Structures are given as C-alpha cells and as structure tokens.
Structure 1
C-alpha cells in the first residue's frame, strides 16, 4: 500500500481548471462536468490529508466487488472516501503513473487509479467520480459513471483517504 500526503483547496474552480490545463493535464467531458457542477464547492483554504493506494484484491476482495463492498472493506482497514476536491488535486501528486495501452469497453481501464469519493448526485447519468490515467504519455483526469452493481476487478486500484483516527496503518 502506497501512502502519500496531499494538499488540496484554496483555488476557485476556474483557477483549478487553469492550473490543470497549464500543467498540462487533460480532462474528459465527465471530469469537466464534475468540476463545473453547481454541486461542487471548492474549499477557499488549503487542507492536507493522507491517502493510500490499494487494489480491490488488496482490500481482501479476491473476486472483486461493488463500490459498497469496497467501501465496507476499506473501512475495516481505516480507509475512507476522499473529498471530491482532493481527487482533482491528486493528479498533481501521481505523475509517475504507469501507462497501460490495453483497450477495454465498459470496464475500468487497466492502469487507472480511481479516487474513491462520494458521488455529488444520486443520478445514474451524472459522473460518479474521477480516475487518473496516463495515455500516450499524457496525464489525464477522467470522470466515470457506473452502476451500483458494477463489479470492480481485484486488480483495480483505488485511492482512499487514511482515516486520521485509525491506527491500523501505523
């Protein structure tokens, strides 16, 4: 399990968008929908949190699992959802991501790092969250949609917030 400290917040959505574009970090339509949603409220102050990268199998779900099963297993390890805002900033901290060029349809792409966060809306047509991916050398921040019954592979990697009150990972 990889644990990092990240800082997020302090920028308006427009300034965050400009910073992402200037890096350059590419966003798909779903990522832009999340960033510019009236339900997304960026924090005016910077905050820090510890995050842990772990696969679904690493959580103990050797056959994979739904987001609810992943949430339950993560909590047993002292891992909780990341604020959605932190997902946008996490792209700046995970720049050495491995590139996997295998194409898949209706699945989490190989090599993607999914930021585990609460959805902004309970609407199946609205993006549920974000993932990081490297494509042809370019860094991407991509929004995704999935149903509650979608089963994530044991190889799928997620980024969680380390619960500050947890002693499991120390």
Structure 2
C-alpha cells in the first residue's frame, strides 16, 4: 500500500475500500472489537460513551478513500478546517463517526506503525490513519474523532484531540468518503 505524494486527488494513487457499516449497537461493536483484541485509548472510549455518537440500526456500505494531506494539494500541511474544505472541493466528504470501528474491523492487516520512528508530540503518530469526521462537540478538550494504528503488533482504535490551530503534516494519512457514494445493501 504505497501512496504517491506528487499528484493531487483524483490523479494520485489512493486506496479505496468498501466498508459495511451499521447494524450493530455500540455495546455490540465494543464486544466485537474486544474479540479481535483491538484496543482503545481513553479518548476512543470517551467517544464511544458520548450520547451524540450514534450507530445506525440498518447496515449500509460506504466507499472510502485513503490519501495524504499532500494528495489534497496541501503541500505545507493544513488545519482541520482547511483540510476538510479542500477535500470537499475535490468531491470527498466526511465520514460518519461510526465508520471508524467498522473500518478497524475490516483493516486487520494494517502495517506496523512504529517502524523505529518516534512520534512527535502534538502530531499524528507515524503509521496512523485518521478518519475524517465531523466532531461531536466544539469543546477543545473532547476527542475530535478516531484514528487507526498498529503498535508492536497490536491493533488500536484511538481517539484524538486537536484544536482549530493544529496543522496536519503533508504526509499524514486520512480517510474520507466519496460524496454521494453511500451504497445501499
């Protein structure tokens, strides 16, 4: 899974996935994540516990696109608002928050995220993939969404905090959904 860094979406190499979403409650999702030995950090648990994080009773499929900030034409990085705006201009949409646990369950072969590179404070960890989604609240101290990571062989569904001024690096990976490409089951 190599992503080219020189071209802008849709004229870049990107990774598309079709993910089945919905049909389970939050407690059922947590149970399945645990059965697959997928861990969550405190921020991920806070997202799951929030009443504003809802799940769909009906299953549906979504087409997702994984690419880097650079692949959106943002070669110097961007704030979350700039990133989401540029993605929208290119025909990509935000994902429902509930996509993250389903995507984590689908993507069990994620490459190792440590690879000898140390993470920097206030930056997306090396090897992580952030799911682009609308935050549940404007509270700067509440998690904004989820990211996927494999650390020392362990799969994680982690929540993260980032304020409006946070600048994502050009090589940070994001997953967006195709606008108007929700597939009915």
Q: Same fold (TM over 0.5)?
A: yes
Q: Distance in 1 between matches of 2:113 and 2:40?
A: 18
What are the within-5 Å matches in structure 2 for residues 23-42 of structure 1? 23-42=36-55
Q: 2:60 pairs with 43, 47, 52, which one?
A: 47
Cα deviation, 1:46-83, whole Å, max 9, x if unaligned, reads 11110000100000000000011111111122101000
Say which SS state the counterpart of residue 18 (structure 2) adopts: strand
Aligned length: 165
Alignment correspondent of 1:126: 142
Q: Where do 5+ consecutive residues of structure 2 fail to align?
A: 1-13
Task: Point out the more displaced range, 97-106 or 62-71.
Answer: 97-106
* Structure 1, unaligned runs of 5 or more: 166-170
**TM-score after normalising by structure 1:** 0.94
Q: Measure, in 2, the Cα distance between the counterparts of 1:40 and 1:64.
A: 28
- Offset, 1:100: 2.8
Query: Alignment RMSD, CA only?
Result: 1.0
For residue 159 of structure 1, what is the aligned residue in structure 2? 175
CA distance in 2, matches of 1:4, 1:71: 19
Structure 2 match to 1:79: 92
Q: Deviation at 1:103?
A: 2.5
TM-score (norm 2): 0.86
Q: CA deviation at 1:99?
A: 1.3
